[in-house]
């Protein structure tokens, strides 16, 4: 698998990252190198090996259904560039 300049631009746009033509030119071989290394892993025979979710054997812990958080609006909004009447205020996004 390899990527071309168009794919890099598409990925960047999906990730909302602005890239210049120069960035794209540099990134195509860089990403293809990374993909090459990952493809090497495909050479290992993993038939019958279960996917590993975590290196340390562990189980997902679950939480009790109790309200323990919230009512911290000032903290939630503290870093917002703009907040009004307790809401985040963002550039208008409407269909």
Q: How many CB atoms lie within 10 A of CB 87?
A: 11
Under the binding rule (CB under 8 A), the answer on residue 84 touching other proteins is yes
**Nearest distance from C-beta of residue 70 to other proteins, angstroms:** 4
**Nearest distance from C-beta of residue 26 to other proteins, angstroms:** 22
Under the binding rule (CB under 8 A), the answer on residue 68 touching other proteins is yes
> How far apart are alpha carbons 93 and 95 in whole angstroms?
7
- Name which of residues 14 to 43 contact other proteins (CB under 8 A): 14, 16
CB contact set of 32 (below 8 Å; sequence gap of 6+) = 2, 3
- Binding interface with other proteins (CB under 8 A): 14, 16, 53-54, 58-73, 75-77, 82, 84-95
């Amino acid at each position: 698998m390899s990527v071309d300049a168009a794919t890099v631009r598409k990925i960047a746009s999906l990730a909302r990252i602005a890239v210049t033509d120069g960035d794209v030119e540099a990134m195509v071989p860089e990403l293809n190198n990374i993909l090459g290394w990952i493809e090497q892993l495909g050479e290992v025979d993993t038939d019958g090996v279960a996917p590993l979710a975590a290196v340390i054997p562990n189980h997902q812990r679950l939480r009790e259904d109790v309200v323990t958080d919230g009512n911290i609006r000032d903290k939630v909004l503290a870093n917002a560039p703009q907040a009004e009447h307790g809401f985040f205020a963002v550039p208008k996004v409407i269909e």
